[in-house]
Structure 1
Amino acid sequence: MTDAEASNPLFSPYQLGEIVLPNRVIMAPMTRWRSGPGFVPLASTVEYYAQRASAGLIITEGSPISEQGRGYPDAPGIYTRDQIKGWKAVTDAVHQKDGRIFIQIWHVGRISYVARLHDLPPPVAPSAIPAPNQQMKIGGQMVRPAEPRALELTEIPGIVDDFRRAAAHALEAGFDGVELHGANGYLLDAFAKTGMNARTDAYGGSIANRSRLMLEVTEAVATEVGRMRTGIRIAPVNPTNDSSTDDAQELFEYIAAKLNDLQIAYLHVVEGTSMGDRNTPPFDYSRLRSLFKGTYIGSNGYDPELARHAIETGNADLISFARSFVANPDLVERFKRGLPLAKLDPETLLGGSDAGYSDYPTLT
Structure 2
Amino acid sequence: KKVVVIGVHGWFPMKLVRSMVGEPTGTSTRFCEQMSTAAKLYFQAEHNVQLPDSAITCVPLEGEGKVEDRVNKLYSSLLANSVWLDAVSSADVILWATHSQGTPVSVMLLQRLLERGHVHVHRQSVCLLAMAGISHGPFPALKGSLIVKYFEADPARELFEFMDSNSSISQKFREAQKHVLKSGIKMVLVGSMQDQVVPLYSAIMSATTHPNILRSVYIDGHIYSDDDFIIHLVSFALKLRNAGLSDHGLLTHVSEVLAGNIYALEGGHSTIYEEIDVYTMSLRYLFETKPFGKLSLARPKTITADSKMQWNPFYLPWAMRGICDDARITSDPELHQELLNLGQSLAKWNPPSSKMREVKYRLEPL
TM-score between the two structures when normalised by the length of structure 1: 0.36
Q: Which has the larger radius of gyration?
A: 2
Higher RCO, Cα 8 Å, sep 6+? 2
TM-score between the two structures when normalised by the length of structure 2: 0.35
Greater percentage in helix: 2
